[in-house]
Amino acid sequence: MARRRLLLLLKPFDMLPSRQFDDSSHFRNPKLSQVIKYLDSRSLVHMEAINFCQNILRKKHVDWEAVYRFNLCRPIRDVDLVVTIGGDGTLLQASHFMDDSIPVLGVNSDPTQAEEVEDCNKEFDATRSTGYLCAATVKNFEQIIDDILENHARPSEVSRMSITHNSKQLPTYALNDVLICHPCPATVSRFSFSKKKEDQSSSSMVHCRSSGLRVSTAAGSTAAMLSSGGFAMPILSRDLQYIVREPISPGAYNSPMHGTVKPEELMEIAWYCNEGLIYIDGSHIIHSVQHGDIIELSCKAPKLKIFLPSHLISSKPAGMTVVA
């Protein structure tokens, strides 16, 4: 059997900046010392998870290369599997360099510990990584890798969002969500939107003055969308969900300020501010827009193949393993 080729994409250690504090501050502020101890623990757990996964892979019939995610700058090619070690942010970043031909497995390197959160609740937030899309931790990594290498598991196909700006396709597909708003959060965003099917007239325009527009995929519906008043969608749904943020109008949160875009539809947004930004999957990928620009959003993007946690999938084909 041919050796499989893997790319390990790693969350960097400087994402947990405990070293920004000088040593003398520990003695002046005992609470700060506790926070720094917690951040140091997170870095250590993450480092140990990376070492653990690499040691497992050294025993397998695979060739692999490890790359820190900030060094990833070109499309991922010529590998059989991408393994991200970090959290959902690392998997999201990997997705921006992947088409629909290579599957990805997320390893949550630093899962939240319920007892730790409860013990530290009066002092600070001890929540660690959510890892919503990550099927593996160090506890089950070897079993999942074995299932994948032996073809006993297969990935799910998760929808992404296509974004066009003035009829030009943007190179990045959104796995989680898109936020379109004015660069200044205190400034009103002015835009109109409609939904339409191919070669058919659009629905009536909805005119908005608000804090912006958020549109999510099913995978992103449990993140900012849910926090802002949306609802969780089945992970394999192809629908998009949108919500107008803080609209200035009576009965603002009634339809049509919140709804879905079906797979056969696209959402067309006309922007009416001098400035605007499109944020894709958070704050790292940004595109500028200006007055009169047209943005189109749809699910017509290459799907991403992900080995998902079993609790996200309600059913599975006979004879195949859903990773747990």
How high is the pLDDT of residue 324? 44
pLDDT for the residue 253: 53
Name residues of the chain where pLDDT drops below 70.
Answer: 1, 14-32, 117, 250-255, 314-324
Q: Residue 22's pLDDT is what?
A: 54
Q: Residue 15's pLDDT is what?
A: 54
Calculate Rg over the CA atoms of the chain. 22
Whether the Cβ atoms of residue 145 and residue 139 lie closer than 8 Å to each other: no
Please spell the DSSP secondary structure of 93-140, one letter per residue: HHHTT--SSS-EEEEESSB--HHHHHHHTTT-----B--TT--B-TTT
Q: Which residue has the tokens 């006993």?
A: 152
CA distance 105 to 248: 42
pLDDT in tens, 186-221: 999 999 999 998 777 777 899 999 999 999 999 999
Ordered alpha helix ranges (H), the chain: 24-28, 30-58, 88-95, 114-120, 141-149, 224-227
Structural domains of the chain sorted by starting position, each given as residue range(s) with its CATH number in brackets: 4-159+304-312 (3.40.50.10330), 162-298 (2.60.200.30)
pTM of the model: 0.88
Cα 243 to its chain centre, rounded Å, is 18
SS3 at position 295: strand
Please confirm whether the linkage preceding 247 is cis (ω < 30° from 0).
no
The residues, ordered by sequence, that sit 6+ positions from 193 with a Cβ below 8 Å of its Cβ are 205, 206, 208, 213, 242, 267, 268, 269, 270
